[in-house]
Structure 1
Amino acid sequence: MTTDRRPLALPLTVFLLIAFGLSWLLATPLWLGDGLDHPLFMPITLAMMATPAIAALVVVFFVERPEHRARALGLWPLRPAGRLVGYLALGLVVPVVLVLAALPVGAAIGVYPADFTHFSAFREQVEAQLEAAGATGPQIPIGVLVAVQFVNVVIGAFVNLVPALGEELGWRGWLLPRLQRFGTAAALLVSGVIWGLWHAPLILLGYNYPTAPPWLGLLMMTGFCVVLGAVFGWLRLRSGSVWPAALAHGSLNAAAGFSLVFAQAGETIDTTRATILGWSGWIVPLLLVAVLFATGQFRPAPAEPTGVSGRPAS
């Protein structure tokens, strides 16, 4: 448990009011217009992802005003380099593994309609796109296109890093460490619930859980955020930096499309039960979190040694 005993009530209140208030404000055109079909849906969602970062920056610069503001947000220092690079690599790979693991688990349970051999849903989508584009000539084998998706995920993870940092600077950069005074498990749980509920403006419109009632979608999104937030929290605490968590968030978003790549054509995917969004997809990450807790991997990273001047020792 952290020894941080700075007042929390005011900073936390300001943080939540700004993060949630701005999110709902930006989502207003969706609610007054065509919902998820609004022509500005993507720009609006990208802007919404920045609201936790705005909230954290306001709190750090105008409410708490610590001496080392970048350090308070987990943006600095970028050392020790070896530790940071190692957790960045984990941040890139672990979410992809969890997304992929959810699919055979869901298929084994009977909640994910899988086609791991012919990739029929993906093939159908590719053929529809080619037909719409009027493409002619020889087609690339479907197996090659599936392999390309793995390359796209790596590229997408880094492309998504900037918008993902907009969320992670708030949830794991500022909020999680400030909740550490209540113990790691409580901090992970509360920050995960807050992260999940923050998605309400989109989830209540049917985002991520289009076949579920709005209340169930929000409940499932909150559960998902608690589970995956614990994985991101591990990366934040053990690395001492927000960057691995931000890269993990970007990697997760980039890998989400794998649920279609390996699906069976003509079948509806119930995301409350299947994929990383559904309960069957939480089994492997929960096992990972349990192992991490059992092996003491949620202990915060050791503080970097400092010299007499207070600067990091060389």
Structure 2
Amino acid sequence: MSGRDLRSIGVFTAVAFALSWLLALPLWFGEGLASPWFPLVSVSVMATPAVAALVVVFVVERPRHRARTLGLWPLTPVRRLLGFAALGIVVPIALVLVALPIGALLGVYPADVVGFSAFQQLRDEQAAAAGAGGLPISTGALVALQLAVLPVAAVINLVPALGEELGWRGWLLPKLMPLGPVPAILVSGVLWGVWHAPLVLLGYNYPTAPGWLGVTAMVGTCILLGAVFGWLRLRSGSVWPAALAHASINGAAGSSLLFAAAGEPVDTTQATILGWSGWIVPFALVAVLVATGRFAPAEPSSAPQPGTASPHP
């Protein structure tokens, strides 16, 4: 890796981290996550890696093909791109959902897959707050409906998710690949995880954990999920499948509430996709991908010709 590459990575990291802390300051000096500004701040913070990548590409490096450098273009070969885009939606949802029964089996996730009591309690509280009766649909049917619309949620969340992916997987991961797949995954994952600190230290994602433990758990989550997103980015040659995967994770994250038992706190350092029990399946998937060489970047000239098979994912 050249000195110029190291300088670019340094600029990218400094800009992304500085902007995330700057945008989070109103929460630190205000009401924290309870602030009415939190939704706007959180979405704005998600855009900071994209800003950092754009600064590097347009000011520091100024490559000839900037959209290609960021993974935004080209959108070909179409079959390969659509295939990985579909995987970007389906695989993260599967990882989020499979984490729940694993956590239940290991005794760290309080599940209720029959009465959906935590979700039922939330419905009752919302109905009481609105002064209305219950919806004319059973809780079980509503759970099924929530699961059915998860792919739609991925599409809805695409734009804010792209704000992160344009930086972490669109620009940074390919820049780190000269180090080798495993070091690139680890470095980008650690940076991505620590970058979450301004919000995690306020209790975001890990509300019951001390700040240091929340940030540590976030780093572990980001290494593994970043590896999955990175696989989609490198093998597709595009940032779009990774952005869809990130959007899919965000859209499916609340699924843990659907199957939880009422009155039982969920420790997210141990349960759900954010905790150690939820890392088991992603770790196994990433290990297989590394062992089988699936992090080798797609070659621009590898677009399948008519009548030939598309590259294996």
Q: What aligned pairs does 1:132-147 form with structure 2 within 5 A after superposition?
A: 132-136=129-133, 139-147=136-144
* CA deviation vs aligned residue, 1:104-128 (integer Å, no higher than 9, x gap): 0000000000011111111111111
Candidates 286, 289, 304, aligned match of 1:292: 289
User: Counterpart amino acid of 1:66?
Assistant: P
Tell me how far apart the structure 2 counterparts of residues 180 and 136 of structure 1 sit (CA, whole Å).
Answer: 56
- How many angstroms apart in 2 are the aligned matches of 1:25 and 1:278? 28
Q: Tell me whether 1:106 sits opposite 2:103 in the alignment.
A: yes
- 1:152 aligned to 149, 163, 183, which one? 149
| 1:53 and 1:168 in contact (8 A); partners too | yes
Out of 220, 223, 231, which is 1:226 matched to? 223
- Distance change in 2, residues 1:262/1:62 (3 Å): same
- Corresponding residue number in structure 1 for 2:116: 119
2:91 maps to which of 91, 94, 116: 94
CA contact (8 A) 1:121 1:262 kept: yes
Deviations 1:5-46 (A, max 9, x none): 572122111111110001000000000000111110000010
2:186 counterpart residue number: 189
Structure 1 counterpart SS, 2:301: coil
* Structure 1 residue 138, shift from structure 2 partner: 6.1
Corresponding residue number in structure 1 for 2:81: 84
1:73 and 2:70 correspond: yes
| 8 Å contact from structure 2 (residues 127, 134) kept in 1 | no
1:244 aligns with 2:215: no
Aligned to 1:311: none
User: 2: CA distance between counterparts of 1:68 and 1:166?
Assistant: 20
Aligned to 1:310: none
Aligned residue number for residue 250 of structure 2: 253
Amino acid paired to 1:296: G
Aligned residues: 303
The unaligned stretches of length 5 or more in structure 1 are: 307-314
Letter in 2 for 1:163: P
- Determine whether 1:42 maps to 2:39: yes
Indicate conservation of the 8 Å contact 1:164/1:247, yes or no.
yes
The answer to whether structure 1 residue 304 and structure 2 residue 304 are counterparts is no
CA distance in 2, matches of 1:192, 1:32: 29
Compute the displacement of 1:193 (Å).
0.2
Distance in 1, matches of 2:302 and 2:119, equals: 51
1:142 to partner: Cα distance: 1.1
Query: What is the CA distance between 1:223 and its match in structure 2?
Result: 0.6
Give the secondary structure class of the aligned counterpart of 2:205: coil
Aligned-partner Cα distance in 1 for 2:274–2:206: 8
- CA 114–197 in structure 1, closer or farther in 2 if over 3 Å, else same: same
Deviates more, 1:6-15 or 1:217-226: 6-15
TM-score normalised over the length of structure 1: 0.94
Judge conservation of contact 1:102–1:276 (CA < 8 Å) in 2.
yes
SS at match of 2:300: coil
User: How many Å apart are 1:137 and its aligned residue?
Assistant: 6.5
3-state secondary structure, aligned to 1:304: helix
Question: How far did 1:152 drift?
Answer: 3.0
Q: Give the aligned residue type for 1:207.
A: Y
Aligned counterpart for 1:212 among listed residues 209, 226, 236: 209
Q: CA deviation at 1:303?
A: 1.9
* CA pair 297-117 structure 1, distance change in 2 beyond 3 A: same
Bigger Cα displacement from structure 2, 119-128 vs 160-169: 119-128
CA deviation vs aligned residue, 1:77-104 (integer Å, no higher than 9, x gap) = 0000000000000000000000000000
Give me the identity figure in percent. Answer: 64
Contact 2:124 2:134 in 1 (8 A): no
Aligned residue type for 1:97: A
Q: Is the 8 A contact 1:27 1:201 kept in 2?
A: yes
CA distance in 1, matches of 2:221, 2:174: 20
* 137 and 126 in structure 1: CA distance in 2 versus 1, 3 angstrom threshold: closer
Q: What CA distance in whole angstroms lies between the structure 2 residues aligned with 1:138 and 1:54?
A: 43
2:75 is paired with a residue of what secondary structure? coil
